Chains A and B, each alone.
Chain A
């Protein structure tokens, strides 16, 4: 099973600042990596698939990069609605999710 790890566990950022979230796979997943945002009491929302492709309706301030084992989700200028927990998920070898990064505001 491919194990996904995420860092940091918690990230505190001020509105308007840039946030960088990291995801690492225990072995290569090529570009088969998705990112989700989850808010309390809600289901995860797909943000990015294929490591870099934004889902329909996702603002351009969200961008994904990376391949192989190292991936990054960048939010260029944080808005108040961006708080929540962010999960990465690989779908190269079946599918597994990371433990999440909680993004909150300073």
Chain B
């Protein structure tokens, strides 16, 4: 059974930094792209970032490019999201999701999601 479990500090200040982790199990982690999706309160989900299976290709939505960094450690079956220069509008539940293939480009749709972790950015 595929399982994805997000963790990390969940309260940050404007201009500050947070790092999220997502531990995966139940599938061959190194064979699949991984994705971060967020959902602001009362809004639809929003794709944030994707990383290829080998970690050599990464993509970001425009609003986080240059501030967020996605990475992965295939030896630990874990994907990360480093969030810098935080803004109030980054407040959301952050989900990690398993890609359909090894490609981060055009990740498609998502069968498997984590339970999500609420990130709040506030002074």
Interface residues of A (CB under 8 A from B): 4, 34, 36, 42-44, 46, 49, 55, 87, 89, 91, 94-100
Contacts and interface: CB of A to CB of B under 8 A. Distances in A.
B115 A94 contact: no
Majority secondary structure, B binding face:
loop
A95 B107 contact: yes
Which range holds the interface residue count of chain B? Answer: 10 to 19
A14 B55 CA distance: 48
Nearest to A87: B44
Contact of B110 (A4, A46, A96, A100): A46
A49 B47 CA distance: 17
A44 B113 contact: yes
Contacts of B115: 42-43
Interface in B88-123: 95, 106-111, 113-116
B46 interface: yes
